[in-house]
A and B are shown apart, each in its own frame.
Chain A
Amino acid sequence: MKSAMEFLRLLRIEIIKTFLKKRTYLGFLIILLIVPLVEIALKLEGGRFLRMAMRGVAQDFILLGNVFNGWFVSHQIMNSLWIQIPILISFVAGDQLAGEATGGTYRLLLIRPVSRTKIFLAKYFTTVLYVLLFVTFLGVLSVGLALLLLGSGDMIVLQQGILVLAESDVAWRFVMAYILAAWSMITVASIGFLFSSFVENAIGPIVGTMGVIIVLTIITVIPVETFSGIRGYLFTYHMAAWQKMFADPVPWNDIRMSVLNLAGYIVGAVAAAWVIFVRKDVLT
């Protein structure tokens, strides 16, 4: 009980430390700027993009109903931002441990009569909390504003053809998609956290995390047969599992595999970071 209270106190301290840093709000600020900007621009454009995408169908059919609606735009935003969001996540995750080294507070922190594991876990859970808040903020702002600006309706998904999802079938898919997106971002944060554990400067983990994501994303999407055998093992392949929530029927088995694969990366990265952190020599 005492141990748990001690951990909660540590967690509270780490949360306060993290949310007192200006860089923590950088991602929120960028999202606050970019999402309304894109959604207002799309509204002003009046669905030209969708009309272009649907012109093959429009040759044969008259399209009825509000097809250029908030759900469609929110999905497009998710599609556009899923590769940029990891950069914003790594700003905070990469700074969690390396930031202490940069600030010269590592020794002060680790000589306290608290186990390193507790300190490590408090920092990691703070990072996870940040990721959850960030993804929730993105989801609420993106979907909420889009629905406010463009209204609701059946959702058009442009992926391997055209799929139309009934309006009543969309909201839960978005909730699940954002949960899966959060899981992907926790994976990114965990990798950033790992890099953060063995360097002394916060820039290194940020660049390192993005470097890994860029290289693995290229391997994932490039149509080269050589990579086909390893593609399924890369976390970048599974990071887009959220997209499958907009398939019909939802391929739950594929999603389960992706969740497990990402879990493997999370556990691996956190365990490695923990080993490095608890063995860290702060005396010399």
Chain B
Amino acid sequence: MTACAGKTLIHCFLFAVSVSAYAQTKSGDAILRNVEKNAEGVQDFTVTLEGEIDMERLRVPRTTATMFYKKPDKVAFDSQGFGLVPREGVLLNATVLRQRYNSTIVGDDTANGRKVLKLQLVAKDPKTRLRELQLLVDAANWVIVRAQTTPYEGRVLTLEFSYRKESETYWLPRTMRATFGTTVVPVERPRLDSNPAPAGQLEEMQRSTPRSGSITINYTNYRINTNLPDSLFQAKEAK
């Protein structure tokens, strides 16, 4: 009898845990759905990106590029001069996140005086470049205000977004600040103060320590739903 009651209790506990986990996953998914709905009417857009880079051992003048986006996940860039765009986070697409990640609510917090929900995302496919993501979602406007991930060993990437309402309907990014942190201790290499050795390139190539720093991107001049052709993205990919 006692053994039977114990088994029942364990079953009940396991059931409760399963239900709770399911509920959390579903809730995480529901939050991403809300984020997705926020820009549901956006079929495509073109936006100008103005980037200011502050990275160690990297000095770049203010860069300007154009980003093209088309549903569901087509993205292309164009730039007249040299431009750097972070590989991750320029466009955190909730549809793609929902498709590729299992999401769980891990709590709530406040960011910039607003209530935010913390989500933990784990990639469904282990081969996905970003295996895990932590998101903070503004529950008032259903926008991702912060994301943190480890794109590769030794690198910690933090993305912070601010938004503005475009076409009086869609909350789209106004600024994005990507902060590149490192968990690797940089190795100091002895070097001469002299300039004649033309070996700077080799030294640069041999450096493996990731740079620390940040890039701030301003999103301006949105042109929404202009019916961008698919060829635009094919041409950019081939470039």
Interchain nearest-CB distance for B98 vs A (Å)? 24
Quick one: given A59-B152, A62-B77, A217-B196, are A158 and B82 in contact (CB under 8 Å)?
no
* Residue in A67, A82, A162, A217 whose CB lies within 8 Å of B59: A162
Q: Contact string, B192-234, partner A, CB cutoff 8 A, digits 1/0?
A: 1011111011001101101100010000000000000000000
Q: CB distance B192 to A223 under 8 Å?
A: yes
* Residue in B61, B77, B204, B208 whose CB lies within 8 Å of A162: B204
Q: Which residues of A contact B79 (CB under 8 A)?
A: 64-65
Q: CB distance A53 to B190 under 8 Å?
A: no
Q: Contact string, B65-84, partner A, CB cutoff 8 A, digits 1/0?
A: 10000000000011111111
Q: CB distance B57 to A221 under 8 Å?
A: no
Restricting to B40-99, which residues have a CB under 8 Å from any CB of A?
56-61, 63, 65, 77-87
Q: CB distance A62 to B81 under 8 Å?
A: no
Q: CB distance A159 to B81 under 8 Å?
A: no
Q: CB distance A56 to B207 under 8 Å?
A: yes
Residue of B nearest to A216 (CB): B196
Q: Which of B60, B82, B215 gathers the greatest number of chain A CB atoms within 10 Å?
A: B82
What is the CA–CA distance of A244 and B195 in the complex, to the nearest angstrom? 8
Q: CB distance A64 to B84 under 8 Å?
A: yes
Q: CB distance B210 to A60 under 8 Å?
A: yes
Q: CB distance B204 to A63 under 8 Å?
A: no
Q: Which residues of A contact B195 (CB under 8 A)?
A: 237, 240-241, 243-244
Q: CB distance B82 to A60 under 8 Å?
A: no
B interface, how many residues as a size bin?
35 or more
Number of chain A residues whose Cβ lies closer than 8 Å to a Cβ of chain B: 45
Quick one: given A52-B205, A56-B208, A64-B77, are A159 and B82 in contact (CB under 8 Å)?
no
Q: CB distance B83 to A64 under 8 Å?
A: yes
Per DSSP, are chain B's interface residues mostly helix, strand or loop, or mixed? loop
What is the CA–CA distance of A60 and B57 in the complex, to the nearest angstrom? 14
Q: CB distance B196 to A236 under 8 Å?
A: yes
* Residue in A60, A65, A79, A158 whose CB lies within 8 Å of B81: A65
Restricting to A198-250, which residues have a CB under 8 Å from any CB of B?
217, 220-221, 223, 231, 236-237, 239-241, 243-244, 248
Q: Which residues of A contact B197 (CB under 8 A)?
A: 221
A191 within 8 A of B: no
Q: CB distance A65 to B205 under 8 Å?
A: no
Q: Which of B77, B157, B205 gathers the greatest number of chain A CB atoms within 10 Å?
A: B205
Q: CB distance B61 to A164 under 8 Å?
A: yes
Quick one: given A161-B59, A162-B58, A166-B61, are A156 and B82 in contact (CB under 8 Å)?
yes
A–B Cβ pairs within 8 angstroms, 25 of them: A52-B205, A56-B211, A60-B87, A60-B157, A61-B85, A61-B215, A63-B82, A64-B78, A65-B79, A67-B82, A76-B201, A154-B61, A156-B82, A161-B56, A162-B58, A163-B59, A163-B60, A165-B61, A231-B194, A236-B196, A237-B194, A237-B195, A237-B196, A240-B198, A243-B196
Chain A residues close to B by CB (< 8 Å): 49, 52-53, 55-57, 59-65, 67, 76, 79-80, 82-83, 153-154, 156, 158-167, 217, 220-221, 223, 231, 236-237, 239-241, 243-244, 248
